[in-house]
């Protein structure tokens, strides 16, 4: 009996120790398709440590959620009492390729996907399109920036004229301009922190169309008489980092910018291509340059080409010369005597003549679509080739779209307004209301909204 009692006591002791041991649970962090899931073991009743924000190509990370429906964000302060799966949420579009559609309903603006799924309810008085993950919004006379979940991340500022004017706000560098009135421009980051501010006065100014790119922003300087005297570049700390007596300078595109340098004959000053350190990469023969639209912002170089004009010089006077398309080595690819190229994309060039009629050429100079009195006028702000199409109006002020490769009509001229196609979708207006169509002219979102616009509402100066 003594032996049996001893064994019984040992068994009870083992059960006691077993009851004191902690059970662990698996917390699975699912990123992307889940193949590379990260699993952490967490003891019962403890909290799981949040992972560093994951990176997925060029998409914006939006947080950790409890399911693939992304209806509820995971609470990292909760106790773990069973196995848990957590899903990483990323933006629907890559940064710099956003196509969230602003819509107006009952007098207020919100955002939806081109397929009609509403991502931010209509609650703002005015909005700018999303660019690089953020949008400028206005409510009750004040403005702030929101992310694609509708989170406000900067303080509210008094209203400023950039809202709904089509000027670029956030850029790829994660910096933005905020005009707060009285000539003051603040430069903020994606956390809403003010890095520095600029007082626009008689000596310097931040142009509406300027923005940060490759860590630099062009600033215009003026002389004592209020005339433009020089263009310099500020870095992210607000310091002059490039100054070489530039008469004019563009924003940087993929690490290069065109700047106008003075010459012995000031009437023949021409542009040179520089890198962010100010090194001259090559010289050009062009005396004027024009911005194009890359789908989200104004750019000087697009798909390796730029557009400009070579002026004719006679003594101390200049006269209009030839418009040209140059490659990224400064070599002239195409030239036009009077008609101005306004966009280059996919091997095609869109041009406009003095009467505001449009034509399409390929880069070999072959005419694809000739000027016609039946078709004229681009719509909205962004004059561009997009999705292999160009939107034009007819002589009845109705809008349709052409194929740039064939010059054939793809979308009939049945719309009161039609924005450029992006990723197969375009905002259209019919019978006074807005909706969304695809490239086959199928109605994706019914024509029921007071107003709609996409990122194509960007001013190209």
Structure tokens at 379: 């719509």
> Hunting for tokens 């950039």 — which residue is that?
162
Interval 386-430: pLDDT, tens: 999 999 888 888 999 999 999 999 999 999 999 999 999 999 999
Average pLDDT score over residue span 162-185 = 80
Instruction: Look at residue 35 in the predicted model and tell me its pLDDT.
Output: 65
Distance separating alpha carbons of residues 440 and 427, to the nearest angstrom? 13
Nearest CA among 89, 129, 94, 92 for reference residue 109: 129
d(CA 117, CA 130): 16
The answer on pLDDT for 241 being more than 90 is: yes
Please determine, for residue 12, whether its predicted confidence score (pLDDT) is greater than 70. Answer: no
pLDDT 10s digits, 354-393? 888 888 999 999 999 888 767 766 654 456 899 999 998 8
Top pLDDT among 248 and 224 is at 248
Please, which pLDDT band fits residue 143 given cuts at 50, 70 and 90? confident
**Residue 256 and residue 302 in contact, taking contact as beta carbons nearer than 8 Å:** no
Q: What is the pLDDT of residue 377?
A: 63
pLDDT tens sequence across 273-313: 999 999 999 888 888 899 998 888 888 899 999 999 988 76
Which residues are CB-contacts of 142 (< 8 A; sequence separation ≥ 6)? Answer: 156, 157, 158, 159
Say how far apart CA 358 and CA 353 lie, in whole Å.
7
**What number of other Cβ atoms are within 10 A of residue 123's Cβ?**
13
pLDDT at 20: 46
Task: Encode burial over 6-29: b for 16+ CB neighbours within 10 A, e otherwise.
Answer: eeeeeeeeeeeeeeeeeeebebeb
Domains along the sequence of the chain with CATH: 2-94 (2.60.40.4270), 96-199 (2.40.128.630), 374-461 (2.40.10)
- The per-residue pLDDT for range 104-117, each reduced to its tens digit, is 999 999 999 999 99
Residue recorded with tokens 């002059």: 240
* E strand intervals along 72-174: 84-94, 101-105, 108-112, 118-124, 126-127, 134-139, 142-147, 157-158
- For 292, list phi and psi in degrees, rounded to 5: -120, 180
Tell whether the model's pLDDT for residue 14 goes beyond 50.
Answer: no
* Per-residue pLDDT at 17 exceeds 50: no
């Amino acid at each position: 009996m003594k032996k049996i009692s001893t064994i019984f006591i040992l068994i009870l002791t083992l059960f006691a120790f077993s009851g004191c041991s902690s059970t662990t649970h698996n917390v699975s962090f699912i990123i992307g398709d889940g193949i590379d899931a990260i699993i952490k073991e967490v003891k019962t009743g403890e909290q799981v440590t949040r992972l560093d924000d994951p990176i997925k190509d060029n998409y914006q990370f939006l947080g950790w959620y409890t399911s693939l429906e992304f209806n509820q964000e995971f609470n990292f302060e909760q106790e773990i009492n069973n196995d848990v799966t957590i899903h990483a949420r990323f933006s629907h579009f890559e940064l710099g390729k956003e196509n969230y559609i602003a819509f107006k309903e009952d007098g207020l603006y919100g955002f939806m996907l081109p397929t009609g799924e509403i991502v931010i309810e209509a609650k703002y008085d005015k909005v700018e399109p999303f660019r690089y993950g953020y949008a400028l919004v206005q409510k009750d006379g004040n403005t702030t920036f929101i992310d694609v979940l509708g989170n406000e991340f900067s303080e509210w500022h008094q209203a400023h004229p950039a809202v709904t004017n089509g000027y670029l706000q956030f850029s790829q560098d994660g910096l933005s301009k905020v005009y707060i009135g009285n000539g003051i421009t603040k430069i903020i980051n994606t956390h809403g922190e003010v890095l520095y501010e600029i007082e626009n006065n008689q000596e310097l100014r931040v142009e509406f169309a300027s923005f940060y790119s490759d860590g630099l922003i062009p600033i215009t300087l003026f002389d004592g008489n209020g005339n433009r005297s020089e263009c310099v570049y500020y870095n992210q700390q607000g310091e002059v980092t490039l100054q070489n007596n530039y008469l004019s300078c563009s924003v940087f595109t993929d690490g290069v910018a065109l700047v106008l340098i003075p010459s012995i004959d000031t009437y023949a000053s021409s542009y040179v291509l520089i890198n962010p350190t100010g090194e001259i990469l090559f010289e050009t023969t062009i005396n004027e340059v024009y911005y194009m639209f890359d789908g989200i912002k104004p750019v000087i170089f697009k798909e390796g080409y730029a557009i400009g004009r070579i002026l004719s010089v006679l003594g101390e006077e200049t006269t209009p010369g030839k418009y040209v398309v140059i490659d990224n080595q400064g070599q002239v690819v195409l030239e036009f005597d009077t008609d101005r190229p306004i966009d280059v994309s996919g091997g095609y060039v869109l041009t406009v003549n003095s009467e505001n009629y449009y034509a399409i050429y390929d880069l070999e100079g072959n005419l694809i679509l000739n000027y016609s009195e039946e078709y004229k006028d681009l719509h909205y702000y962004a004059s561009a080739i997009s999705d292999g199409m160009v939107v034009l109006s007819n002589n009845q002020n109705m809008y349709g779209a052409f194929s740039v490769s064939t010059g054939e009509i793809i979308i009939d001229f049945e719309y009161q307004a039609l924005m450029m196609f992006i990723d197969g979708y375009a905002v259209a207006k019919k019978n006074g209301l807005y909706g969304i169509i695809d490239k086959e002219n199928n109605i994706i979102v019914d024509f029921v909204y007071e107003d709609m616009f996409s990122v194509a509402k960007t001013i190209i100066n």
